[in-house]
Amino acid sequence: MNKEITITVNGTQHTLEVEPRLLLVHLIREVLNLTGTHIGCDTTSCGACTILMDGKSIKSCTVLAVQADGKSIKTIEGVSAEGQLDSLQEGFHLNHGLHCGFCTPGMVMRATELLANNPNPTEEEIRWGISGNLCRCTGYNNIVKAIQYASAKNRGVPTASTEPEFV
Amino acid sequence: MIQCKTSKAISGMGHSMKRKEDARFLQGKGHYVDDIKLPGMLYMDIVRSPYAYAKIKSINSEEAMKVPGVVAVVTGRDLEKYNLHWMPTLMSDTQMVLPTDTVMYQAQEVCAVIATSRYAARDGREAVRVEYEPMKPVIDPYKAMDANAPVLRKDKEGKKDNHIWNWKVGDKEKTEKVFENAEVVVKQHMHIPRIHVASIETCGCVADYDKVNNHLTMYMTTQAPHAIRTVIALVAGHVGLTEEKIRVVSPDIGGGFGGKVPVYPGYVIAIAVSFLVGKPVKWIEDRSENLQADSFARDYHITVEMAGTKAGKIQATRFKVLADHGYTDASANPSKFNTGLFSIATGSYDYDTSYMEADAVYTNKPPGGVAYRCSFRVTEAVHAIERITDRFAFEIGKDPAQLRMENFIKKEDFPWKSPTGWIYDSGDYHAGLKKAMDAIGYDELRKEQVEKRKKGELMGIGISTFTEIVGAGPSKDFDILGIKMFDSAEIRVHPTGKAIARFGTKSQGQGHETTYAQIIAEELGIPAENIQVEEGDTDTAPYGLGTYASRSTPTAGAAASIAARKLRDKARKIAAYLLEVSEDDLEWEPGKFSVKGAPEKSKTIQEIVFAAYTNHPQGMEAGFEATHYYDPPNLTFPSGAYICVVDIDKETGAIHVRRFVAIDDCGHIINPMIVQGQVHGGLTQGIAPAMYEELIYDEDGNILNGTFMDYLVPTAVESPHWETGHVVTPSPHHPIGAKGVGESPTVGSPPAIVNAIVDALSPYGITHMDIPVTPFKVWKALKDKGAI
């Protein structure tokens, strides 16, 4: 028994018939073909599927599409216009905050909400803030730097050097 | 400070150029295998065994076939008709694609359900009924060696035990003699447990067989697309699928770390189904399947001994290894190296006597032995030598840094022949350790430790000074299934001076699109931003053995350099023609040739390339392209000096890594930013097995932590703020003096952490902790010693 839902994704409204058991991440990836949102686990542990639902970062692998009825969704594709980077994406690029790129969209979406709630987080607050998102490549140092860069840029204060620092 | 020969505009070697590949990943435009959607595509899901060892009495697919959308249930019996139910492993063992009668480990593939959607395939999987007759499994590798242990590989005719192979290297008699006469002998048994690469993207594929053209396109998560194409042709040639009819495409890969080198049964089943039905078949494993069934890493039980003098001179080492390979030897090693490069275990120290022996056994566990961010068993080797070196220092009461300094191979002694026959290319171990000690403030830390100990507080300082061995490898010794381990680069420069370069390797996050461009920019002076790098499509890229074992820079990076030099030679000829001088009268600076003594007379590389298409000398071949297949003359030997400081809560056993300094020597550095990023990531994959990760099995062979809920991949909270630096001793035999870096930190960091923890606990007589060192293990050890 399919159910009709209406959701807004990256500013575009969609009215769709979905199976009640359809996961939101599958709606995003396979129905709407927005493949920037990834799937990295089956236990809500890794955060690769993180998106914003009404501004709140959620793991879309553990939310049903029908639960998103009437909600507004933002995915990585909706963060900036094509060919442009917002301050977080720029921070990740300049500080080498990504390697394979698989966790990156989830990290960016999570960090977006983190900075919305706490525009000037400490390193410890950033580390706890992204602790629901796993990255296997970077060791997190440069993800922290990327978020600090965006925080500074958003607040209009000078950003730290983006050159690597060696002891 | 790293010296650059090129301007920032060119961005050759030494520049921290921002990565060319970032834009697509940051905007959700990466292209991973699960993003592929083809018309008419079917989905495959796999029924897996709940038992570690069982006979399959029956597989009933009747209910599954009633599920809307399910089109087929494929069993081992179905594959047997085409002789596809078994496949060879990289180590010339055999592995089931799907079983016909017996399952050998929990989560083994039992049968596959094919359906028109992902959800239908999963519904079908749940509806398949399999009747098993469980048997008592063999889980402990030592018990597998018992004379009365059940023989697991009954499929192998005449097999009377569970022993796979015995390997030895070194001088046994001489080693025994040194040990007999030694003033000091220390001995330690250790287990390097099973762990998993756990790349955030799991494995998967889309097999797309076109019946009309008899052509297979295989999109898959593979680190070695060319080798896979050849393997498919060798395995499926008998059904008409010959190599020119196969295209393997490795799209963006969400982390590999060695786990995407092997061929898993899922890939083969998908190909077989697509071949039979003529439609594309997608298989994407979920995380729990990935952890439970894909190749594990490590699982070596090691007894290591060191002999030396009371004054602290290392004289000899001896290693005895038991390797648990699961039910088949599916290690990802070069063919002639069944223990990989374990024989690097003699370490960074100047002595000439060592003996090593290893035995491998079958158990009822998943197969594998992937080179997880490690050049074939080097992690195990480094852990053994760096732990026993610390034990030796502790035994004779010498500071472990001092002991290392006194025993290091000296920089003037390179090239240096190790007791097991390797020729180390270059290194300056003293400089590396000195730099690490200065950076962390070693002497002050030792003073602080004395004060802390007076108060009963636990603080430890641990060192690891390791030698890596990477870049496999010279064709005289190194092959995989007979294919020599060279690698390749092809450079095509377009008339307007912009280039495309293709490689036999395959990046999984290492940043090849940037670093290879920088190597070519260094050699030709064409800006790196104008050089497009492509990998992963066997229809377009030159043949190569792929990316693992830190081999991309040592092999394909060298190929890029030499191919570019061929082009520079051609450029010189064209420049001489254009400037009407002899070739000898020209001098090169990055980006142009000019006439000696008349620098105003010059031609830029762009002008020269344009002439190669528009005004080339008569008799010269037109165009501006070169290819090189590089066969390395030796491996490269990166090294590192790592120091870790830990504070331990005595009451809870909680371990806090206060600081970690890593000084790496990977030879000449192509992109410092990327090298540093590789080190950060590798260190985190070092703290992971040191403190958190282990695949745990109970005595019935049930995996106890086969999901991300309980397999503890470190988050940003567990990961320390890593501090990095480098010393540079160029590899003398590599065209650009580079060595490879991706794996050094994973290999080198676990013993630094364990040595720090043991150092903290040493006042209570604790001399060793097996990894992962958890708070519970620490607490229990302190409790057992009466410390709390």
Number of H helices, E strands in chain A: 5, 5
Please name which of A151, A127, A129, A149 lies closest in space to residue A138, comparing C-alpha atoms. A127
Please name which of B196, B44, B27 lies closest in space to residue B112, comparing C-alpha atoms. B44
B616-628, pLDDT tens digit by residue? 999 999 999 999 9
* Residues A105, B663: C-beta atoms closer than 8 Å: no
For B679, the 3-state DSSP assignment is: helix
Fill in the DSSP letter of residue B535: E
Q: Which of A102, A134, A137 sits opposite B681 (nearest CB)?
A: A137
The pLDDT assigned to B237 comes to: 84
Residue B236, pLDDT > 90, answer: no
* Residues B201, A102: C-beta atoms closer than 8 Å: yes
B127-166, pLDDT tens digit by residue? 999 999 999 999 999 999 999 999 999 999 999 999 999 9
Please tell me the pTM assigned to this model: 0.97
Residue A81, pLDDT > 80, answer: yes
Closest CA of chain A from B123, distance in Å: 12
Final residue before a domain boundary, out of A78, A105, A123: A78
Q: Which residues contact B39 (CB under 8 A, 6 or more apart)?
A: B280
Alpha helices in B670-743, H assignment, sequence order: 672-687
The pLDDT assigned to A122 comes to: 98
Domains B22-30+487-630 and B296-406+427-472+634-784 share a fold: yes
- Phi, psi angle pair for B192, to nearest 5°: -100, 100
The pLDDT-based confidence of B307 (bands split at 50, 70, 90) is very high
Q: Which of A43, A85, A144 sits opposite B287 (nearest CB)?
A: A43
CA distance from start to end of chain B: 49
| CA nearest to A38 within chain B | B201
The pLDDT assigned to A1 comes to: 84
What whole-number percentage of chain B has pLDDT above 90? 97
| CA nearest to B675 within chain A | A164
| pLDDT average, residue stretch A90-105 | 98
Q: Which residues contact B523 (CB under 8 A, 6 or more apart)?
A: B12, B560, B561, B564, B565, B567, B568
Closest CA of chain A from B292, distance in Å: 13
* Residues A138, B683: C-beta atoms closer than 8 Å: no
Report the number of distinct structural domains present in chain A: 2
Query: Both A103 and A72 in a single domain?
Result: no
d(CA B534, CA B257): 20
Contacts of A103 in chain B (CB under 8 A): 200, 254
* Six-digit token string for B650: 């005595």
Interface test with A, best of B27, B292, B675, B744 (most A CBs within 10 A): B27
* Residues A36, B16: C-beta atoms closer than 8 Å: no
Q: B296-406+427-472+634-784 — its CATH code?
A: 3.30.365.10
d(CA B568, CA B488): 18
The pLDDT assigned to B281 comes to: 98
C-alpha pair distances (Å), A11 with each of A14, A38, A79, B390: 10, 20, 11, 60
Domain assignment present for A162: no
Query: Both A20 and A52 in a single domain?
Result: yes
| pLDDT average, residue stretch B405-424 | 98
Contact status of A137 with chain B (Cβ, < 8 Å): yes
Please name which of B61, B193, B23 lies closest in space to residue B695, comparing C-alpha atoms. B193
d(CA B613, CA B553): 31
- Identified catalytic residue from B201, B490, B513, B743: B743
Residue B238, pLDDT > 90, answer: no
Final residue before a domain boundary, out of A49, A78, A107: A78
Domain assignment present for A72: yes
Domain assignment present for A121: yes
| CA nearest to B721 within chain A | A141
The pLDDT assigned to A34 comes to: 98
Residue A25, pLDDT > 80, answer: yes
Tokens 């762009």 -> residue: B606
* Six-digit token string for B621: 């071949």
| pLDDT average, residue stretch B230-249 | 91
Residue A146, pLDDT > 80, answer: yes
Residue B234, pLDDT > 90, answer: no
Label residues B300-312 b or e (16+ Cβ within 10 Å = b). Answer: bbbbbbbbbeeeb
Q: How many contacts, defined by CB atoms under 8 Å, are there between A and B?
A: 207
Please name which of B690, B695, B693, B685 lies closest in space to residue B657, comparing C-alpha atoms. B690
The pLDDT-based confidence of B708 (bands split at 50, 70, 90) is very high
Handedness of CA A42, A46, A48, A49 (dihedral sign): positive
User: Cβ(B447)–Cβ(B453) under 8 Å?
Assistant: no
Fill in the DSSP letter of residue B63: H
- Identified catalytic residue from B203, B205, B374, B666: B374
d(CA A147, CA A88): 6
Q: How would you class A91 by CB atoms within 10 Å of its CB: exposed for 0-12, middle for 13-18, buried for 19 or more?
A: buried
For B529, the 3-state DSSP assignment is: helix
d(CA B2, CA B673): 12
Domain assignment present for A38: yes
Tokens 């010794």 -> residue: B477
Residue A53, pLDDT > 90, answer: yes
| Domain B33-136+205-284 bears CATH identifier 3.40.50.40 | no
C-alpha pair distances (Å), A163 with each of A100, B238, B677: 20, 55, 12
C-alpha pair distances (Å), B208 with each of A87, B203, B279, B337: 40, 17, 6, 35
Number of H helices, E strands in chain B: 19, 33
Interface test with A, best of B17, B123, B200 (most A CBs within 10 A): B200
The pLDDT-based confidence of B343 (bands split at 50, 70, 90) is very high
B17-65, pLDDT tens digit by residue? 999 999 999 999 999 999 999 999 999 999 999 999 999 999 999 999 9
* Residues A89, B26: C-beta atoms closer than 8 Å: yes
d(CA B236, CA B243): 9
Tell me the pLDDT of chain B averaged across its residues: 97
Q: Which of B26, B439, B679 sits opposite A85 (nearest CB)?
A: B26
Told to judge if B305 belongs to the known catalytic residues of this protein, a careful annotator would answer no
The pLDDT assigned to B519 comes to: 98
The pLDDT assigned to B529 comes to: 98
Residue B406, pLDDT > 80, answer: yes
The pLDDT assigned to B13 comes to: 98
Domain assignment present for A164: no
B481-493, pLDDT tens digit by residue? 899 999 999 999 9
SS3 for B441-476 is CHHHHHHHHHHHHHCCCEEEEEEEEEECCECCCCCC
- Identified catalytic residue from B108, B188, B223, B678: B223
Told to judge if B373 belongs to the known catalytic residues of this protein, a careful annotator would answer yes
- Identified catalytic residue from B373, B387, B502, B551: B373
d(CA B14, CA B738): 11
SS3 for B164-186 is EEEEEEECHHHHHHHHHHCCEEE
| CA nearest to A37 within chain B | B28
d(CA B292, CA B109): 11
Tell me the residue type at B213.
N
User: Cβ(B225)–Cβ(B537) under 8 Å?
Assistant: yes
Closest CA of chain B from A11, distance in Å: 16
The residue segments making up the domain with residue A110 are 87-155
Residue B1, pLDDT > 80, answer: no
Domain ranges for chain B:
22-30+487-630, 33-136+205-284, 296-406+427-472+634-784
Domain harbouring A71, CATH code = 3.10.20.30
Told to judge if B666 belongs to the known catalytic residues of this protein, a careful annotator would answer no
Residue B257, pLDDT > 80, answer: yes
| CA nearest to A137 within chain B | B681
Q: Which of A94, A127, A136 sits opposite B198 (nearest CB)?
A: A136
Told to judge if B387 belongs to the known catalytic residues of this protein, a careful annotator would answer no
Domain assignment present for A137: yes
The pLDDT assigned to B375 comes to: 84
The pLDDT assigned to B679 comes to: 98
Contacts of A89 in chain B (CB under 8 A): 26-27
d(CA B340, CA B356): 13
- Please tell me the number of Cα atoms within 13 Å of B178 on its side-chain side: 21
Query: Both A12 and A34 in a single domain?
Result: yes
Contacts of B707 in chain A (CB under 8 A): 41-43, 45
Q: B22-30+487-630 — its CATH code?
A: 3.30.365.10
Final residue before a domain boundary, out of A58, A78, A98: A78
Contact status of A10 with chain B (Cβ, < 8 Å): no
